[in-house]
Amino acid sequence: MTQCIADSDFPGWHGTTIIGVKKGGEVVIAGDGQVSLGQTVIKGTARKVRRLSPGGYDVIAGFAGSTADAFTLLERLEAKLEATPGQLQRACVELAKDWRTDKYLQKLEAMLIVSDGAQMYVITGAGDVLEPEHDVTAIGSGGNYALAAGRAMMDTDLGAEEIARRAMAIASDICVYTNGNLTVERLGG
C-alpha cells in the first residue's frame, strides 16, 4: 500500500529557494530571506546561506527545509570538514551516510547546497551527494524556476553572481514562498 504525503505534513519544507552557480572560477550560492509557516510569512530577512570556516578552510552552504534541521546538518558538516580538512566531497559523503543511517538524523527535513569554490554538491536526506551536471543547481520550493532560469543564462557573458541574482529574481516572481531579499556568498573569482 502506498501512502501519499501531503505538503501539509511538512509545513516548513517548501518555503525557500537556494541556487548555486559555478562559472569562470567563481562559485556563488544565493538564497531568499522568506520564512513561511503555512501560508503566512513569518520573516522576510532570514539568512539561509552561510559561510563555514573550519580550520580556515572556506565553504559556503545554503539550506532549504526546516531551519532547526538545517542548522543541525550544518553543524555536522562543519565537524566532518574539521575531521577531513580540504576534502569537501569526503565530508559530504560522510554526512550523507550519517544522515541516512542515524535514526535521529533520518527525521531531519532539509537539503543543502555546499561548495568550497572548486566543487559544488547537493546533499539530501536520501543519502545523495549530487554534483550538478551543468554547474548550476537549485533547491527548495522555487528551485525548479531558479534552476531553469540559471541554466538559460549559463551561455551568456554574465558572471556567476549576476546569473544567481537574476535567476532568484525570476523564482521570487513565480514562487509565493520565495522573496527577493537575498543573501549571497561567493568563493573564487
The reported pLDDT for the residue numbered 110 is: 83
Domain extent listing, the chain:
12-141+161-178
Question: Cα–chain-centroid distance for residue 177?
Answer: 15
The reported pLDDT for the residue numbered 172 is: 97
The reported pLDDT for the residue numbered 6 is: 37
* Beta strands across the sheet bearing 17-23: 136-140, 17-23, 26-31, 183-188
Pair 128, 96: CB distance under 8 Å: yes
The reported pLDDT for the residue numbered 112 is: 94
The reported pLDDT for the residue numbered 116 is: 96
Closest among 160, 188, 177 to 19, alpha carbons compared = 160
Active site residues: 16
Q: In this structure, how many other beta carbons lie within 10 angstroms of the beta carbon of residue 171?
A: 31
Helix axes 160-174, 143-153, angle to 10 degrees: 140
For the chain of 189 residues, list the mean pLDDT of each consecutive stretch of 10.
39 73 97 90 93 87 88 90 93 90 76 95 89 95 97 98 98 95 93
Residues 6+ apart with CB under 8 A from 144: 138
- CATH code: domain 12-141+161-178 is 3.60.20.10
How far is it, in rounded angstroms, from Cα 25 to Cα 42? 37
Whole-prediction pTM value? 0.89
The reported pLDDT for the residue numbered 14 is: 52
